A and B are shown apart, each in its own frame.
Chain A
Amino acid sequence: MSFRRLAPVEQQPATFAFSEENQRLVDQWITKYPEGRQRSAVIAALWIGQDQEGWVTKALIEEVARILDMAVMRVLEVATFYTMFNLAPVGQYLVQVCTTTPCWLRGSDDVVAACKKHIAPAPHTISADSKFSWMEVECLGACVNAPVMQIGKDFYEDLDSPTAERIFEALRRGETPKAGPQQHHRHSSEPEGGALTLNDPKLYDGGYAREVMRRSGVDTTDAEAKKPTQGASDREAPVQKPPGAAT
């Protein structure tokens, strides 16, 4: 991390106004906090503003300060504290490459090299075609699929140099490459080449459960025992696949 400053005046747009929809969102966030505590919505407001503008401009900071009735300095403090706020213009596609230890061990240096080759030699620089910019970030929280990069709101996982370059080229052509794991035929974060643990079929046919029920003296039918609870079915919306059938 380095000293974080607002972008130079030449890059700053003169004004900022929330779009109607975003203004509604900001108002919604403000109502989440008790009366007189509207300042708590500052991060949300900046985030919504960054969503709209791509980066946090001086005008945005001043607008947020005005809406939340805060000193401009206080908003600037928040904007410079959190590295998720971009203080300078970014490309249409902002590539955030994770270089924290697990990703680095799995080859994030190659992804960074691909960025340098395809986008710009230095981070925080907009590419020649003004479509991309890239930066290194700390852990994106997808270590099982390392190395990882985030483009916009999508995670691209299981990368290496060629896959990363393929993604950049596709984006450049205007396509939207499929997000998620790019290699190893993975659907999400399951083990490469199939599961090595939890392979016992008895785990899934209710065999163990029957044993437990029998011991505790509860007599339950299979169908009932397998039925997920309401909460669990809400959480696990996608259809569950049997283990080992990931390919």
Chain B
Amino acid sequence: MPTRKLIIDGKEVEAEESITLLQACEQAGAEIPRFCYHERLSVAGNCRMCLVEWVGAPKPQASCALQVKDIFPNKDGTPAKINTRSPYAQKAREGVMEFLLINHPLDCPICDQGGECDLQDQALYYGRSNFHRFNENKRAVEDKYMGPLIKTIMTRCIQCTRCVRFATEVAGVPDLGGTGRGEDLEIMTYLDKAFDSELSGNAVDLCPVGALTHKPWAFIYRPWELRKTNSIDVHDAQGANIRVDSRGGQVLRILPRVNEDVNEEWISDKSRYACDGLKNQRLDRPYVRKNGKLVPASWSEAFELIRAAARATRPERMAAVVGDLAAAEEIKALKDLMRALGVVNLECRQDGAKIGGPRPSYLFNTTIAGVEFADALLLIGCNPRWEAPVLNARIHKTWLNSAIKIANVGVPYNLTYPVEQLGGSTSVLRGITDGSHSFARVLRDARRPMLVVGPGVVARADGAAILNLAAKIAADTGMIGPAGKPAEGGWNGFNALHTAASRVAALDLGFVPGEGGRDMAGILDGAGKGEIDFVWLLGADDVDTGRLGNAFVVYQGTHGDAGAHRADVILPGAAYTEQDGIYVNFEGRVQRAERAIFPPGQAKEDWAILRAFSDVIGRRLPYESREELRRALVADVPHMANDDALPGSAGTDPAIWNNIGAAGELDERTPLASPIADFYLTNPIARASETMAECSKVYVTGAIKMAAE
């Protein structure tokens, strides 16, 4: 890569020509203040805060918009001199800051951005400190409506247009714009329409001032009061890296952490704003059903009841189901407990997905970062915008930066990028498999083709047959390449998409029906027919609880949702913010979450509940602490120890691809579709969240009309 010599603050550096001067200065260790510039957005160059001195140039230079390749050396051949701290550069920035503050209100004491405001910080370090020269009235701007999540105080806006560029370039929803011009530029949505993106909260993060703030969290915290805990998001299976901010015993907000391989720095609105669901409808003490009514009980009472029921039932008439939000530890503990009791009816796929078997067959093998290398993408019955919004942003980014061809078999969804609709029926898939469909050619000609099988597809009755077809397409069109990272030529284009955060860990642990065991449909049928008498639900609320018949139901979980309503005994567990946990995302990436707060009331960590009950029933689990449990977990599944393991499984043995799923009859009449009916209400935490309920009313059901309609 061609480089160029520069002298930055007296230090000679070699900078790549393709980067901007701002990046070169940062590489040289200089700090450049900025408002409009952001690494992940296009360069606007309109705030002028990043001015530096290029010795000899007639004016200070906006370093964010000046490429290194445009900086020519001095006439005598010596490298150009750039000063970032000279009095000239300082004065230039002071001038810019003075202009920005002319119209910025002095409402920091009541502003939610206070304490983490770029303008506040930079005014302190780069502004004039001794006096001000403007006594005129400040400009006032009307506040705008941008939906239930974004609160606007537009007088504070410094018109950096980060939010506008984010909406267009990352979210792919060009709802935001700047109307008018000059001093009168106003950021707004078209006719006060709600900003219709699942990633809208990130626009608030990007806002360098307090113009856009989080509406659900208005006036409830100051950033310096919060305890910050690194965690992993469980609202979808992407495993976005998050930071849980808590105060006292409450999670007050959730923000994204940067992880280039997973979520860059975005998280979905559900991951972010559903945190108010962590304090509503919580199960904070055990309950037992007496005379048809759930009444509070003590732990020992509840355990005793379960022990009696379990003792009275033969193992083949017992079943256990793992829900979508469970961490690997409690899945392992439940599995060990059930195995000790001789139960084989284990199930982690409450949606009835016909997925399992060899590890590559249920992973997103391309990896999330690998999507950017793909040049052809076939979506099979999935709606990534709702199933994994941050992944969808990655696909949008790929579409923006490359000539990727994207096609969809299934119900058409608005995915924010153009998608060729091949039709909804499975017959299209058959056409691609036998090469009669034109898209087969596109896949074959592509250098790095990939396909994504949606969670709704494998949950169908003919899910195994479709999976089988998809694996055939992958093998036949050269999607399975050599081992290694995509950047180095390794490629595996077969991807299964999940929505349940617990799914891959549970499949890794083999929480599936054992020898002669029943799967989800079998358990429900059995319960209906009276062949299953005892069901343990570990946070499983999305099973059809109405079909559990007369079975004795133990619900171990966090919220008073479907499972708890049907339960005979409720064991209050901990939510993902209330216990450490290992999560494996759909790529197969092992990540660790840390406990931010304690579970409410008498609720306990889930593994500890299972461990305590194992004692009661006389099958003591062999671990005393989470550390010991983790050691047992790793002994069982070695890759769980390895946080840095290469996720996915590029270049696995080609032979396995012929035996994935099971060949069978295809249902050609029901179109392939996503299982998610309402993005904002997919799990017990989200369903307990008032914010999510309002989002659902605005964006999904339309119960609250968007202003533009």
Contacts and interface: CB of A to CB of B under 8 A. Distances in A.
A76 B184 contact: no
B184 A1 contact: yes
Interface residues of B, number: 17
B190 interface: yes
Nearest to B186: A3
B186 A73 contact: no
B335 to A, nearest CB: 50
Interface in B173-194: 174-182, 184, 186, 189-191
B386 to A, nearest CB: 21
B185 to A, nearest CB: 9
Contact of A77 (B141, B142, B175, B178): B178
Interface in A52-110: 58, 71-74, 76-77, 80-81
Contact of A71 (B174, B178, B179, B191): B174
A3 B184 contact: yes
Contact of A73 (B181, B184, B189): B189
A43 interface: no
B179 to A, nearest CB: 4
A187 interface: no
B175 A73 contact: yes
Of the candidates B181, B186, B190, the one having the most CB atoms from chain A within 10 angstroms of its own CB is: B190
Interface in B150-191: 168, 174-182, 184, 186, 189-191
Contact of B179 (A1, A2, A58, A77): A77
Nearest to B174: A71
Interface in B79-123: none
Contact of B181 (A6, A58, A71, A81): A81
Contacts of B176: 73
Contacts of B191: 6, 58
Contacts of A73: 174-177, 189-190
Of the candidates B176, B179, B181, B184, the one having the most CB atoms from chain A within 10 angstroms of its own CB is: B179
Contacts of A3: 141-142, 180, 184, 186
Nearest to A83: B181
Interface in B188-237: 189-191
Contacts of B190: 71-73, 76
A109 B191 CA distance: 36
B186 to A, nearest CB: 7
B193 to A, nearest CB: 9
B174 A80 contact: no
Interface string A134-169: 000000000000000000000000000000000000
A74 B184 contact: no
Nearest to A82: B181
Contacts of B186: 3
A4 B186 CA distance: 9
A67 B174 CA distance: 17
Contacts of A58: 191
B174 A4 contact: no
A80 B184 CA distance: 10
Contacts of B182: 1
B189 A80 contact: no
Interface string A114-149: 000000000000000000000000000000000000
Contacts of A1: 180-182, 184
Contact of A80 (B141, B142, B175, B179): B179
A36 to B, nearest CB: 12
Interface string A1-18: 111111000000000000
A22 to B, nearest CB: 24
Contacts of B189: 73
Contacts of B174: 71, 73-74
B177 A81 contact: no
Nearest to B183: A1
Nearest to B167: A73
Of the candidates B174, B176, B180, B186, the one having the most CB atoms from chain A within 10 angstroms of its own CB is: B180
Contacts of A72: 190
Interface in A24-61: 58
Contact of A81 (B142, B168, B180): B180
A73 to B, nearest CB: 4
Given A4-B184, A6-B191, A76 B175 contact: no
A73 B179 CA distance: 9
26 contacts: A1-B180, A1-B181, A1-B182, A2-B184, A3-B180, A3-B186, A4-B179, A4-B180, A5-B179, A58-B191, A71-B168, A71-B175, A71-B190, A73-B176, A73-B177, A73-B190, A74-B174, A74-B177, A76-B179, A77-B177, A77-B178, A77-B179, A80-B180, A80-B181, A81-B179, A81-B181
Given A1-B180, A3-B142, A71-B168, 19 more contacts: A1-B182, A1-B184, A2-B184, A3-B180, A4-B179, A4-B184, A71-B175, A71-B177, A72-B190, A73-B174, A73-B189, A73-B190, A74-B177, A76-B177, A76-B179, A77-B178, A77-B179, A80-B179, A81-B181
A-B pairs with the 4 shortest C-beta distances?
Answer: A71-B174, A73-B177, A80-B179, A73-B190
